Structures are given as structure tokens and as C-alpha cells.
Amino acid sequence: MKNATLGEGSKVPHLSYVGDAVIGEGSNIGAATIFVNYDGVEKHYTVVGDHVRIGSDSMLVAPVTIGDGAYTAAGSVITEDVPPGAIGVGRAKQRNVIGWVLRKRPGTKSAEAASRHSTDEQKG
């Protein structure tokens, strides 16, 4: 933590960077969360309310406020305020590209393993 205050009962686990922030009481910052406080010119603050849950591997891009009792989904990039009691989800929907390994990485051990489960259509 750098230039940040942590409210009573709040937790910041390993592999997280918290800079230029105020975190309220009873909040939990998920592992590997980054408080993105510098835009290349200036530093900005992040405010995390009371009893907030930040999902692991999230990025909070300052300036941003996470309201009291709010959540963020794991793996999110949060660029806008999250209102109290809401969940912020800032990530794209998962998209599986079927057959990608067989087409783009032929001859690898991964392709060999994948070919045991593929259809002719997936093989390209």
C-alpha cells in the first residue's frame, strides 16, 4: 500500500497494489487487484466504501468510487463508479474459438492432445 488508508477490518491480500486510495471499513480487496492510479501525467484517487468486495484480479482505474456494499466481478477492469449495492462487471464475455490450436499451432504437443478430441470440422 502506498499513500492509502485502510479502514478497520478491511483486508488487502497478497499480490495486490493499492496506491492513492481510501478503503472503508470491513472491505475485502481480492488477490492480485491493482489500483491503477497513474494516467501517465497525473495520479488519481480511488475510493472504496464500507463492506465492499473487490473480485480477484481486478483493476480499478482511478478516478473511481466503489460505493458502500458494492461488489466487482473477478477479472474486471472498472473504469466507472459502481453505485452502492451494485456489482460492477467490466470484462468481455468469454468466447471460445473452436479448433484454434489445431489451425494455428499444428505440430505442437497441445495440438496433438487436442486432436484426440476434435472433429473433422475443427481440424480445418
Q: Are the C-beta atoms of residues 66 and 82 closer than 8 Å to each other?
A: yes
**Which pTM value belongs to this model?**
0.81
- Residue-range domains of the chain with CATH: 2-88 (2.160.10.10), 95-124 (no CATH)
Q: Which residues contact 27 (CB under 8 A, 6 or more apart)?
A: 7, 10, 11, 48, 49, 50, 51, 52, 53, 54
- Cβ-count burial of 116 within 10 angstroms (0-12 exposed, 13-18 middle, 19+ buried)? exposed
pLDDT tens sequence across 66-101: 999 999 999 999 999 999 999 999 998 889 999 999
Segment 88-91 long-range contacts (CB within 8 Å, at least 24 positions apart): none
Q: Which residues are known to be catalytic?
A: 14
Mean pLDDT of 3-24: 96
